[in-house]
Amino acid sequence: MLAPEIVMMSLKVAVIAVTVLLLASLVALARGNYRLHGRINMVFFVLTLAALGGLEVIARVLEPQMFDEFIAARQATGALNTHLMFSMPAALLLPFMLFTGLRHKRTAHIALAIIFSVLWAGTFITGVFFLPHH
């Protein structure tokens, strides 16, 4: 049996790690290194989808009630719902961000990047600081 505390802490570490990658990507972009920006974003995309996929397997297949009980016991349903309001749209934007970046559709990519940045900031803040891990 998986311990929900370990899963939640692992997810928080993953969110922090990919956020560092995202910031490194923005530094590369600011320095004009578009190729590095794209490569870092590709790693960000793969790692984020891997974490989401792993979470879905754990939460829906291996231990379906684990998170429900964990969140309910800590009265964190509101925090989880707020987190999902940011994280779900951010995850849905990722493939479009990747597509517009790879196809050099600059205007669309920048517009999506602005929206994604707001959603990711909300994902980071709510996921790291408001969701329980103990």
Element (H, E) at 41: helix 34-56
Residue pair 17/47 in contact (Cβ under 8 Å)? The answer is yes
C-beta atoms surrounding 43 within 10 Å = 13
Q: Please give the structure tokens belonging to residue 39.
A: 């490569």
pLDDT digits (tens, 9 = 90+) for 56-98: 888 878 887 888 888 888 998 999 999 999 999 999 999 999 9
Cα–Cα dist 31/25, whole Å: 10
Q: On the CB side of 29, how many CA atoms lie within 13 Å of its CA? A: 16
Range in 21-25, 53-57, 120-124 the model is least confident about: 53-57
pLDDT over threshold 80, residue 1: no
For the chain, give the mean pLDDT. Answer: 93
More confident residue, 60 or 42: 42
Radius of gyration for the alpha carbons in the chain, expressed in angstroms and rounded: 16
